[in-house]
Structures are given as C-alpha cells and as structure tokens.
A and B are shown apart, each in its own frame.
Chain A
Amino acid sequence: GAVVSQHPSRVICKSGTSVKIECRSLDFQATTMFWYRQFPKQSLMLMATSNEGSKATYEQGVEKDKFLINHASLTLSTLTVTSAHPEDSSFYICSASGDNYYEQYFGPGTRLTVT
C-alpha cells in the first residue's frame, strides 16, 4: 500500500512555456501533499505544503506565482511551473501523507529540462 505516482517522469520544454506535473496517491487519501526540488547530488528542498481544498503554504524564497500548486482532491495535487526558464531545470519530487503528516510516501520524481 501507500503508493504515490508522478506524471510525467521526464519532460523537456522550451523556455517561456508552462509545465504541469501531477502527483497522485493511488491507494490512500492524502490529507497533505508536499512538493520538493532536488538539485544534483543534493538533498531535497521543500518548496510547498498543500492540504486538500486549501491554498498551498510556500517555503521562504519559493515564488508562488511561478510554482502554482493545486490540491483539488484527496488523491491529486499538481505543480505547474509557469514561464519556465533553464534555471528551473531540476528533479521535482512529491510526497503525500495521510493522518500522520510525518509519514510521507514519495513519488518517483519528475525530471524537468528547460531548453
């Protein structure tokens, strides 16, 4: 149990376009979903936390208007990178938790490359 999927696994887009990444909890209801960014050989950096039906809480330094997060249901959250630039290229990972916020289940990640 506790499976989280992400789609797409890899995406290449042109500079200036927008990209949407989906995160789904397949076999449980995710009260909270988290979005992380990971640079090569580095740890995970929390970007934002979202609760179903509420606005996401962004970490300091993360642009809300650039990284749009929607958590419309208990099984789906989306991250939209708007007007992407090469510096947005990264590995984006989502995680989901149920009643226990600290027990996070991670998706397989999405590799975004902006050309």
Chain B
Amino acid sequence: AQSVTQLDSQVPVFEEAPVELRCNYSSSVSVYLFWYVQYPNQGLQLLLKYLSGSTLVKGINGFEAEFNKSQTSFHLRKPSVHISDTAEYFCAVSLKTSYDKVIFGPGTSLSVIP
C-alpha cells in the first residue's frame, strides 16, 4: 500500500525567505502527487499536482514542486513567503488506477514570522 511522509511537522520561516516543505512517498506503482493547503477552520485547496510530463510543477500562489522518481519525493518550494502563507500543508498521493483513494500525509504547519 502507498504511504506519504512529511518529515517536518512544523516549519517556521521569516517573511520573504525561501521555504521547502518535504514530502516522500512509498509505492510500488506509478502515482499521482498533490499538494494541498488548509487555512484555519477551512477545507483544503489544491496548490498543484503532478500527473505526468515535466517533473517541475508550478502551482498557485507562487508555489512549485519537483517530482523526483528515484528519491520518491515531491518537495514543495516557494522562493519568498508571505504572512498569508501561514497554513497547514498536506502532501497527497494516489495510485494511477481507477477507483482508488487519495492518501494524505500528516501535514506540515508553516508559520511565517514577520
């Protein structure tokens, strides 16, 4: 079965500094990969997704992620964070088969310090 690991439960970073949120997954077959953001007391919003093609994926709000098959990673990056980026970030994976479910990682809490 597939699984998702987000090694950093909390990441504090100063405003305008770069940030990387790490995500690793395990799966014996090809997967789709996602990053979601959750603001307090709200649902999840899709930041970006990797389905196929270019391994560098650009998303909303200036975020991007790179799929590395050999390292089974899908790290999220932003070159300069804003206060408004403070939120919970979830990495998720799904097998490239029908009727399977999306598995979410434990989440990383990003805190942007003024």
Residue of chain A at shortest CB distance from B51: A102
Residue of chain B at shortest CB distance from A104: B102
Residue of chain A at shortest CB distance from B45: A106
The proximity string for A residues 1-33 relative to B, scoring 1 for CB distances below 8 Å and 0 otherwise, is 000101000000000000000000000000000
**Mostly helix, strand, loop or mixed at chain A's interface?**
strand
Q: Are B45 and A111 in touch, CB under 8 angstroms?
A: no
Interface, chain A (partner B; CB < 8 A): 4, 6, 34, 41-44, 46, 49, 91, 93, 95, 101-109, 111
Q: Are A102 and B32 in touch, CB under 8 angstroms?
A: yes
Residues from chain A with a CB closer than 8 A to the CB of B46 are 103, 105
Interface, chain B (partner A; CB < 8 A): 32, 34, 36, 41-46, 49, 90, 94, 98-102, 104-107, 109
Residues from chain A with a CB closer than 8 A to the CB of B43 are 4, 6, 93, 95, 106-109
Chain A to chain B: the 3 pairs with minimum beta-carbon distance, closest first = A106-B43, A102-B94, A106-B44
Q: Are A101 and B100 in touch, CB under 8 angstroms?
A: yes
Residues from chain B with a CB closer than 8 A to the CB of A102 are 32, 34, 94, 100, 102
Residue of chain B at shortest CB distance from A32: B99
Cα distance, A64 to B108, chains bound together (Å) = 31
Cα distance, A42 to B49, chains bound together (Å) = 22
Q: Are B90 and A44 in touch, CB under 8 angstroms?
A: yes
Cα distance, A108 to B49, chains bound together (Å) = 20
| A-B CB contact pairs (8 Å), 28 listed | A4-B43, A34-B101, A41-B109, A42-B107, A43-B90, A43-B105, A44-B44, A44-B90, A46-B101, A93-B44, A101-B94, A101-B98, A102-B34, A102-B94, A102-B100, A102-B102, A103-B46, A104-B102, A105-B46, A106-B36, A106-B43, A106-B44, A106-B45, A107-B43, A108-B42, A108-B43, A109-B43, A111-B41
